[in-house]
Structure 1
Amino acid sequence: MKALTKTDFNFPGQKSVYHGKVRDVYNINGEKLVMVATDRISAFDVVLPKGIPFKGQMLNQIAAKFLDATTDICPNWKTATPDPMVTVGVMCEGFPIEMIVRGYLCGSAWRTYKSGVREICGVKLPEGMKENQKFPEPIITPTTKAEIGEHDADISKEEILAKGLATPEEYAILEKYTMALFNRGTEIAAERGLILVDTKYEFGKHNGTIYLMDEIHTPDSSRYFYSEGYQERFEKGEAQKQLSKEFVREWLMDNGFQGKEGQQVPEMTDEIVASISERYIELYEHITGEQFVKEDTSNIASRIEKNVTEYLNK
């Protein structure tokens, strides 16, 4: 099992490339973007030293499915998937914020709440909540989009407007789309015996219109619980059975790593890497309701290069 952790393509019409934490984005003639979902994995804003086989393929295929399933809610950037690890789409000017929506109190929001804080991103939280409890209504807790190596920071709607990161009219559309997408994701998850706990969306503008960008409803951008046994575990104060990247974070924390200065990433053995890959496949099959078909990984880079070049030359 090979993993693709680095790309260095030179596609027809390529102007530039941006290497993100897990995705590499190629600018084609200032009009199209070729987004390669690599097998890199990040946690606590740190890219871990080993790639996870098939992770990029899974994320790309889940995102493509959800982008296609939400075109009636809002326009999105995707135009094609010429390779299992690649999405090609229209180039948008991104808003420098991520729209995070939470249906349940867990993860970083729970850690903040547990420390005594009762307001996140300008949203007041009720007293007496417990970990993994459902909010009366989903809440939107945006963050700034950090540069590489920096942490995303919480930001309120008021701060977004005050800093001019979006106009009031734009922000109203972002909120509307965020809630509608979350509701759709929740419905699809419920059909598959899952709870969409929280997720994030990124938006940008293309020809003056707001588009949904990037990936959606993947285990990298979302957290899922299993519906079965949720209530029972919640009432007993037990950890929820979840499908998300949280298990990677938990493994890191159990081994003394939270992305803080001076901390070392624990050794990623072949067993750990294989177990993470298996968890991703489990989520893929759960959320799509389809069996995951592993692509040939003998030479991933040349396969991608051939598929994308053929598509761009059409």
Structure 2
Amino acid sequence: MSNTITKTNFNFPGQQSVYKGKVRDVYSLENDRLVMIASDRLSAFDVVMPKGIPYKGQILNQIATKMMEKTSDIVPNWLEATPDPNVAIGKKCEPFKVEMVIRGYMSGHAAREYKAGKRELCGVAMPEGLKENDKFPEPIITPATKAEHGDHDEDISKENIIKRGIVSEEDYVQLEQYTRELFERGTEIAAKQDLILVDTKYEFGKTPGGKIVLIDEIHTPDSSRYFYKKGYEERQKNKEAQKQLSKEFVRQWLISNGFQGLEGQQVPEMSDDYIESVSERYIELYENITGEKFVKADVSNIEDRIRTNVESYLKDH
């Protein structure tokens, strides 16, 4: 098994505080700067799995970086540099406490709700007569409130977001517009790779100057679901499962082993072989999404590598 990074405990120059999320650890520095480290932790059903996945952090960080570059003409983003395969450095922002989830197809959570008889998600109507993985007539935006400290994110309607003052109406209108434009661009990028961008989530923040920027990750297999375009129609016609690129395969494995993040459920044991197979799937995701060969970083001592690269960058910038 390769080395993985599942915990970080750095003390960078000018460091003020640390926030540890499900997958990323964010170090706040002076001068409104953030160092975001993509760990190899794997989260599913809002639960962090006990073992790390080799190269997962590198894969997420590098896909997100490429996608930020490809969408910076639509919306400015927080990113300044990636001095290490697992690290992004950028501007500190005040995050909006909602995730902007957009769905082009009835899959995943939407399909589970639909199957349970619901025809409305986050105040948005879902048409009758759809089957799992059918395309929606128009992409739908189904926001979720950002959970604090590992609790489940919650579906919420646009009306409730505005009524509860989570986001102002003016800002929310802008977030929706950015979300639709980013999804359109993501769909175009995916199509060039013979993929379908099924659904995804975007997170936004505000700079101290009040500008809305894109933060966190974008169009990665952790934040998005992709289908292979080839054979999609045929599989739908035959009511077969779609061939997909996302971490849904992990969720399905967990469900089949009796785990859905519900109270009292135990995370099933993940063997080294299974962990290795998940790592290989993530590499496959990287290569299919970017169209580039994945180059494994040196993982002999990931912590030392990160510390050296980040400190060297901060010294020069």
TM score, norm. by length of structure 2: 0.98
Letter in 1 for 2:190: A
Show the counterpart of 2:222: 220
**Aligned pair count?**
314
Show the counterpart of 1:202: 203
Displacement of 1:149 in angstroms is 2.8
CA displacement 1:223-267 (0-9 Å, x = unmatched):
000000100111111100000000000000010011111111111
Letter in 1 for 2:118: V
Displacement of 1:22 in angstroms is 0.5
How far, CA to CA, are the matches of 1:154 and 1:111 in structure 2? Answer: 13
Show the counterpart of 2:57: 56
Displacement of 1:210 in angstroms is 0.3
Show the counterpart of 1:303: 305
Show the counterpart of 1:135: 136
How far, CA to CA, are the matches of 1:69 and 1:242 in structure 2? Answer: 23
Show the counterpart of 2:84: 83
- The answer on whether the counterparts of 2:144 and 2:154 sit within 8 Å (CA) in structure 1 is yes
User: Is structure 2 residue 258 aligned with structure 1 residue 268?
Assistant: no
RMSD: 0.6
User: Is structure 2 residue 63 aligned with structure 1 residue 65?
Assistant: no
Show the counterpart of 1:180: 181
- The answer on whether the counterparts of 2:71 and 2:185 sit within 8 Å (CA) in structure 1 is yes
- The equivalences for 1:106-145 within 5 A come to 106-145=107-146
Show the counterpart of 1:250: 252
Show the counterpart of 1:97: 98
How far, CA to CA, are the matches of 2:98 and 2:73 in structure 1? Answer: 23
Q: Secondary structure at the match of 2:213?
A: strand
CA displacement 1:100-130 (0-9 Å, x = unmatched):
0000001111110111111100101111111
Show the counterpart of 1:43: 44
Q: Secondary structure at the match of 1:303?
A: helix
How far, CA to CA, are the matches of 1:23 and 1:269 in structure 2? Answer: 24
Letter in 2 for 1:134: K
Q: Secondary structure at the match of 1:276?
A: helix
- The answer on whether the counterparts of 1:73 and 1:177 sit within 8 Å (CA) in structure 2 is yes
Q: Secondary structure at the match of 2:61?
A: helix
TM score, norm. by length of structure 1: 0.99
Displacement of 1:272 in angstroms is 0.5
How far, CA to CA, are the matches of 1:160 and 1:149 in structure 2? Answer: 21
Q: Which moved more, 1:212-221 or 1:259-268?
A: 259-268
Displacement of 1:167 in angstroms is 1.2
Q: Secondary structure at the match of 1:237?
A: coil
Show the counterpart of 2:6: 5
How far, CA to CA, are the matches of 1:183 and 1:155 in structure 2? Answer: 23
Unmatched tracts of structure 2, length 5 or more:
none
- The answer on whether the counterparts of 1:15 and 1:30 sit within 8 Å (CA) in structure 2 is no
How far, CA to CA, are the matches of 2:26 and 2:74 in structure 1? Answer: 25
How far, CA to CA, are the matches of 1:69 and 1:266 in structure 2? Answer: 38
Residue among 268, 271, 282 paired with 1:280:
282
Displacement of 1:148 in angstroms is 1.7
Displacement of 1:30 in angstroms is 5.3
The alignment-based identity, stated in percent, is: 66
Displacement of 1:310 in angstroms is 0.8
Show the counterpart of 2:192: 191
